[in-house]
C-alpha cells in the first residue's frame, strides 16, 4: 500500500529527502482545458484571442513558463528546481475548447510533474484573467498529468483516458 511521502512518522509535514537519489533526466507533460463562452470566442483571430490587454495565448504562455519556474516557491513541500526546458502550447480544439499543454524537463533527483501542472494551471488562469472582461462564464475544466518519465515510476495516460 502506498504511503504519503510528505509526512514523517509522527504525521508532521516534511520535504522528501532526495539527497541519496541519482540524477536522471526527468520529463513531465500536463494539460489544462479551458471552456470559453461564445462572447469570448468571437474575439479569436489569427490563432489567438485579441484583447485590449494584448494577445491572450501569448501572454498565457509566458505566465505558464514563469509559474513553472516558481513552483517550489508556490507549493510548500516542492523542491526548488532548475528547469532545463519548459514549453507551453495552446490550441483551440475542434470542440472549441482551449487546450494547454505544458512540457517541463530537467536533470535532477526529483520529478517535474508539479512544474508541468503549475505551468498549465497558470496559463489557464491567465486566460481567465485576460478574458473575464468579456464573460465570467469561463470554466477551467480540467488540469491533469499526461506523462512523466525519469523517476522510479514512469507514467503515461492511455489515449482512451485523454
Measured distance CA(124)–CA(116) in Å, rounded = 12
DSSP 96-140: SEEEEEEEEEEEESS--HHHHHHHHHHHHHHHHHHHTTT-S--EE
- Which residues participate in catalysis according to the annotation? 129
* Contacts (Cβ under 8 Å, ≥6 apart) of 105: 25, 26, 27, 28, 83, 84, 85, 86, 112
State the distance between the two ends of the chain, measured CA to CA, in whole angstroms: 26
Amino acid at each position: 500500500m502506498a504511503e504519503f511521502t510528505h509526512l514523517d512518522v509522527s504525521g508532521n509535514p516534511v520535504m522528501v529527502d532526495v539527497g541519496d537519489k541519482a540524477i536522471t533526466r526527468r520529463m513531465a507533460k500536463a494539460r489544462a482545458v479551458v471552456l470559453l463562452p461564445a462572447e469570448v470566442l468571437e474575439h479569436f483571430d489569427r490563432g489567438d484571442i485579441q484583447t485590449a490587454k494584448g494577445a491572450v495565448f501569448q501572454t498565457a504562455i509566458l505566465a505558464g513558463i514563469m509559474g513553472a519556474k516558481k513552483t517550489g516557491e508556490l507549493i510548500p513541500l516542492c523542491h526548488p528546481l532548475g528547469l532545463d526546458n519548459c514549453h507551453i502550447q495552446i490550441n483551440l480544439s475542434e470542440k472549441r475548447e482551449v487546450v494547454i499543454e505544458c512540457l517541463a524537463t530537467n536533470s535532477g533527483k526529483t520529478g517535474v510533474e508539479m512544474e508541468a501542472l503549475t505551468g498549465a494551471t497558470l496559463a489557464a488562469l491567465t486566460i481567465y484573467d485576460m478574458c473575464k472582461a468579456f464573460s465570467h462564464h469561463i470554466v477551467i475544466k480540467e488540469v491533469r498529468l499526461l506523462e512523466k518519465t525519469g523517476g522510479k515510476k514512469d507514467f503515461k495516460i492511455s489515449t482512451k483516458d485523454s
